[in-house]
């Protein structure tokens, strides 16, 4: 009886661990692809390329224009900590222009 319960507990724990570890892997291609405004533009391409290393790229309308500087800076720091490739100044300028052009309207 105890042996059967122990086996059930082990099997249940194993499947729980597998489920948790599935969430820790790299983002799937489906997860990384989102519909972006003007998807063929250089800014959208940079957003897709760099953000999808960790998560689905957020639509530019996720933030107000004046919020994007801090968001992008924070994400660049996370990329640096994970030893991911970094955007150069020109790429950052293109990305920021894209994000601010299509940002959520309003005031912060």
Find out whether 32 and 52 touch, Cβ atoms under 8 Å: yes
Q: In three state form, how does the secondary structure of 38-82 look?
A: CCCCHHHHHHHHHHCCCCCCCCHHHCEHHHHHHHHHHHHHHHHHC
Q: Model-level pTM greater than 0.75?
A: no
pLDDT at 107: 78
pLDDT (tens digit per residue) in 13-42 = 555 545 544 544 454 444 456 689 999 999
Percent of the chain's residues with pLDDT above 90: 64
């Amino acid at each position: 009886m105890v042996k059967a319960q122990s086996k059930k507990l082990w099997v249940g724990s194993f499947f729980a661990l597998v489920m948790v570890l599935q969430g820790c892997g790299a983002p799937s291609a489906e997860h990384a692809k989102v519909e972006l405004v003007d998807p063929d533009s250089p800014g959208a391409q940079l957003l897709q390329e760099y953000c999808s290393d960790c998560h689905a790229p957020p639509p530019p309308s996720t933030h107000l224009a004046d919020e994007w500087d801090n968001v992008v800076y924070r994400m660049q720091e996370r990329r640096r900590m994970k030893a991911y490739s970094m955007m150069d100044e020109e790429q950052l300028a293109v990305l920021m222009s894209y994000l601010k052009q299509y940002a959520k309207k309003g005031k912060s």
